[in-house]
Amino acid sequence: MDFDFNDEQREIKSTAHEFLASRFKPERVRELAESESPYDDGLWREFSDLGWPGISISEEHGGQGLGTVELVILQEELGYVCAPSPFIANALAGAAIEGAGSDEQKSKWLPGIASGEARGSAEMTCDPDPILGAARGASILVLANGDGAKLVEPEDAELERIDMIDSTRAYFRVKADGGEEMPGEIAHAGSIGQIAMAAELVGIGQRALDMAVEYAKERQQFGRPIGAYQAVSHRLAEMLWDVEEARSLTYSAAWAADSDPDLVPIAASMAKARASDAATSVTHNAIQTLGGIGFTWEHDIHFFLKRARASAQMMGSARLHRDRVASLVGMS
């Protein structure tokens, strides 16, 4: 069995890494995070030109017809730069409509979501509240409705912007009466959202680790790089273990979403729980490694710490998913 990316997946990862590094330099992320709205319409158009909004939507509905693995590759790279972007909310809306919508609903909304022209937004659980990501400017909102979901147009909903610790995203509470019900269940779409959020957390953790390693190589103390001291090197090794274990579980879950649907509920929860813990721990340890400079507003590590803490709660907390895994294997 080959556990490596294929040529197309390697190309997606390389292109995404280079493109996002050039568009989301630290100073640009800071500028967007400190603005009234963290999203840049011009950057979203560039995403759309690359075909990213529809990467996992079927070709029948205007997407690229790829899979969850490819979606996860993009999400990890977006996390790595802490990109202020409505990408994950749009992807989750597309997954929900494709999985649970009627033929008419799919035909109406998926082509626009896939092209990026009629961006969608979907409700994401943020313990204990439902939170909507990137709702303002969206063409359609996907809101939970029991075991299913409903479609609500933004003008029929009341949106309340929420100030959260993470300023690199726009978060909303939403109230909406009525709406158009989708006939199917959204459980699988929810699992895809959990896997995608886990991938973002892996990217955040990897970037925090890279920042810490770079600093440990450069910062001298008593004539030696601080990375040469066991207290620092052991911390960095623990951070690497956290990131790699979370990455392994996340890509395993993404493979299951495309190839073995029966495994998806438990695989998604394992990935989200581990990635939530890993990103939270790694960003904390990165600040400890950086020392005093890491606690300042001027250093960019705090954006990754805050995104990690917010995303760890989105789509279910680590504790919620550990409980879910225990239930699924018959331990509770």
Burial of residue 59 (number of CB atoms within 10 Å: 0-12, 13-18, 19+): exposed
Together in a domain, 143 and 251: no
- pTM score, two decimals? 0.96
CA angle 326–329–332, rounded 5-degree value: 45
Domain end point (choices 166, 181, 196): 181
Question: Do 42 and 172 lie in a common domain?
Answer: yes
CATH number of domain containing 262: 1.20.140.10
Tell me how many domains the chain contains.
Answer: 2
H-run or E-run covering 132:
strand 129-133
Helices (H) and strands (E) in the chain, counts: 11, 9
Please report the pLDDT score of residue 146 as a whole number: 78
* pLDDT of amino acid 100: 95
The answer on 84 and 124 residing in a single domain is yes
Enclosing domain of residue 54: 7-181
Distance (Å, rounded) from C-alpha 26 to C-alpha 209?
16
Do 139 and 172 belong to one domain?
yes
The answer on 235 and 129 residing in a single domain is no
Are residues 125 and 196 part of one domain? no
Tell me whether residue 128 is in a domain: yes
Domain end position, chosen among 181, 205, 222: 181
Residue type, 203: G
Classified as helix, coil or strand, 2 is: coil
The answer to whether residue 177 is domain-embedded is: yes
Q: Is 324 part of any domain?
A: yes
Inside any domain, residue 253: yes
What pLDDT score was predicted for residue 148? 85
**Co-location of 12 and 151 in the same domain:** yes
Compute CA distances 257 → 40, 202, 230, 263, whole Å.
31, 18, 40, 8
Tell me: do 160 and 282 sit in the same domain.
no
pLDDT of 133: 81
Torsions phi, psi of 121, nearest 5?
-140, 140
DSSP 138-172: -SEEEEEETTEEEEE-GGGSEEEEE--S--SS-EE
Question: Can you give the CATH number for the domain in which 81 is found?
Answer: 1.10.540.10
Residues 171 and 85 in one domain: yes
205 and 167 both lie in a single domain = no
Instruction: Please answer whether residues 250 and 243 qualify as being in contact, where contact means their C-beta atoms are separated by less than 8 angstroms.
Output: no
Distance in angstroms (rounded) separating the CA atoms of residues 281 and 299: 18
User: What confidence score (pLDDT) does residue 2 get?
Assistant: 65
Kindly state whether residues 82 and 207 are assigned to the same domain.
no
CB-based contact 220:226 (threshold 8 Å): yes
Answer whether residue 1 is part of any domain.
no
- Strands 148-152 and 180-181, by their bridges, are antiparallel
Residue at 2 is within a domain: no
DSSP of 239-282, one letter per residue?
Answer: HHHHHHHHHHHHHHHHHHHHH-GGGHHHHHHHHHHHHHHHHHHH
Per-residue pLDDT of the chain (332 residues; tens, 9 = 90+): 567 899 999 999 999 999 999 999 999 999 999 998 899 999 999 999 999 999 999 999 999 999 999 999 999 999 999 999 999 999 999 999 999 999 999 999 999 999 999 999 998 876 667 788 888 899 999 998 877 899 999 999 999 999 999 999 999 998 898 899 999 989 999 999 999 999 999 999 999 999 999 999 988 888 898 888 999 999 999 999 999 999 999 999 999 999 999 999 999 999 999 999 999 999 999 999 999 888 898 999 999 999 999 999 999 999 999 999 999 999 87
Residue that is last in its domain, among 181, 201, 221 = 181
Instruction: Mark whether 220 and 155 lie in a shared domain.
Output: no
